[in-house]
């Protein structure tokens, strides 16, 4: 628990202190958001608002993670230290954040609402996702447990193993499966980041859920339990909990500046980084399919875009929603931005609660 408090506290303080200075710097250099022309008219006032706020909280998370382990080592309390699992989360978090940074950089300096071309973003995300997936099946501990698993997981690993035809087939299929999760999640969070504070608040709840799950998996780890039917074979759950708390702390501080009226936007730097971290948690905590419930708000918003685009093409120009992603449909229906954000936060909280309920219920039933 000390580690979680340290990680969250350091990340929160760093973000809270650095963000005003960063906003001043961006404002001075006139590095502001370019608002899309086809968006709601009410968003025109957002043009010029500093963006790339993700740079600060991404760096804060990195510093807080390593600082926490350093402090724990000095206190003689670090039993596991820096882990392969923790570094893999940071790889996907930081790697996707870097892709987002390149995207934001192009938008700002070319003064356009579109940054990297679609194929460029896909290639960069694929390179990072493949690297993550391959490395996730390496670094076995003394029990032979690797951070990732070729088994498809829901509330824990299932009997569906992608390595059914041997380890090489398993590796290839796992890389494809992991990239599907990573790409889908990063883009879903990116689509959610369209209103002041919306993606930030929802992400805090999601990371809070993974923090609680990490604590529970550590307490019920097979290495600590005599009941093999209900214990969890998850590598380094204590480090997953630490990173979940650290991310929550950084985003709570960021929300202070990102809530309406936003003084800064996270940009693709932040949204892609958050999406990468969420995907990493789902894969490494062995709860891949549960992601659909815990991150249900992101899923619904992403589906709204898929439905809108698909129906538009099939119907010859007709639309299901007034505008996609879904949050803009409600804006154009007369809801204020604040109402949309608060109600979507409520939805995000309900999805998180449902996910945690499923996670705990499975353990109780298995007793």
Q: Is 193 annotated as a binding residue?
A: no
CA dist., res. 295 & res. 206, Å (int): 6
CA dist., res. 280 & res. 299, Å (int): 16
Nearest to 153 by CA among 172, 178, 133: 178
pLDDT at 76: 84
Nearest to 268 by CA among 138, 108, 104: 104
Q: What is the pLDDT of residues 130-142, one digit of tens each?
A: 999 999 999 999 8
- Residue 43: which pLDDT band, with cuts at 50, 70 and 90? low
pLDDT at 229: 73
Residue 333 domain flag:
no
Q: What total number of domains does the chain contain?
A: 1
Residue 340 domain flag:
no
CA dist., res. 363 & res. 76, Å (int): 33
Residue 85 domain flag:
yes
pLDDT at 42: 60
What per-residue string of b and e applies to 328-366 under the rule 16 or more CB within 10 Å gives b? bbbbeeeeebeebbeebbeebbebbeebbeebeeebeee
Residue 307 domain flag:
no
Q: Which domain holds residue 19?
A: 2-290
Average pLDDT over residues 35-45: 60
- For residues 211 and 251, the answer to whether their CB atoms sit within 8 Å is no
pLDDT at 41: 58
> Would you call 157 helix, strand, or coil by DSSP?
strand
Residue 201 domain flag:
yes
Q: Is 190 annotated as a binding residue?
A: yes
Q: Can you list the alpha helix ranges (DSSP code H) found in the chain?
A: 2-29, 54-75, 84-110, 118-136, 167-192, 198-219, 237-258, 267-284, 291-294, 296-315, 326-332, 337-366
Q: Is the pTM of this model over 0.85?
A: yes
Nearest to 87 by CA among 277, 251, 275, 310: 277
pLDDT at 107: 84
Mean pLDDT of the chain: 93
pLDDT at 118: 87
Q: What is the pLDDT of residues 278-300, one digit of tens each?
A: 999 999 999 999 999 999 999 99
Provide the 10 A C-beta neighbour count for residue 52: 26
Average pLDDT over residues 219-240: 86
> Would you call 158 helix, strand, or coil by DSSP?
strand
Nearest to 199 by CA among 329, 302, 61: 302
Q: What is the pLDDT of residues 173-200, one digit of tens each?
A: 999 999 999 999 999 999 999 899 999 9
Lowest model confidence (mean pLDDT) among 68-77, 124-133, 263-272: 68-77
- Residue 90: which pLDDT band, with cuts at 50, 70 and 90? very high
């Amino acid at each position: 628990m000390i580690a979680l408090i340290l990680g969250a506290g350091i990340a929160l303080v760093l973000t809270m202190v650095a963000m005003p200075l960063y906003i001043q710097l961006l404002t001075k250099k006139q590095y502001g958001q370019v608002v899309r022309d086809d968006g709601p008219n009410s968003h025109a006032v957002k043009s010029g608002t500093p963006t790339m706020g993700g740079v600060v909280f991404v760096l804060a998370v990195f510093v807080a993670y390593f600082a926490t382990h350093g402090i724990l080592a000095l206190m003689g309390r670090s039993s596991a230290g820096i882990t392969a699992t923790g570094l893999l989360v940071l790889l996907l978090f930081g790697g996707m954040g870097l892709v987002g940074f390149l995207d934001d950089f192009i938008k700002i300096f070319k003064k356009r609402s579109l940054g990297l071309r679609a194929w460029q973003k896909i290639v960069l995300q694929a390179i990072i996702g493949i690297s993550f997936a391959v490395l996730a099946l390496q670094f076995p501990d003394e029990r032979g447990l690797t951070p990732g698993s070729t088994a498809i997981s829901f509330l824990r690993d299932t009997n569906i193993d992608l390595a059914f035809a041997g380890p090489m087939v398993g590796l290839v299929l796992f890389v494809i499966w992991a990239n599907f999760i990573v790409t889908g999640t990063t883009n879903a969070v990116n689509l959610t980041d369209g209103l002041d504070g919306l993606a930030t608040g929802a992400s805090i709840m999601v990371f809070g859920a993974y923090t609680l799950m990490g604590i529970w998996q550590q307490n019920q780890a097979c290495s600590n339990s005599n009941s093999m039917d209900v214990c969890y074979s998850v590598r380094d759950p204590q480090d997953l909990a630490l990173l979940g708390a650290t991310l929550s702390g950084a985003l709570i501080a960021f929300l202070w500046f990102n809530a309406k009226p936003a003084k800064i936007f996270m940009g693709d730097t932040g949204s892609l980084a958050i999406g990468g971290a969420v995907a990493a948690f789902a894969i490494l905590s062995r709860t891949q399919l549960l992601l659909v419930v815990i991150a249900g708000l992101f899923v619904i918003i992403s589906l709204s875009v898929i439905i809108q685009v698909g129906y538009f093409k099939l119907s010859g120009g007709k639309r299901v929603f007034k505008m996609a992603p879904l949050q803009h449909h409600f804006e154009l229906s007369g809801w204020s931005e604040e109402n949309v954000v608060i109600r979507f936060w409520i939805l995000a909280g309900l999805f998180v609660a449902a996910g945690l309920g499923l996670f705990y219920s499975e353990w109780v039933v298995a007793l």
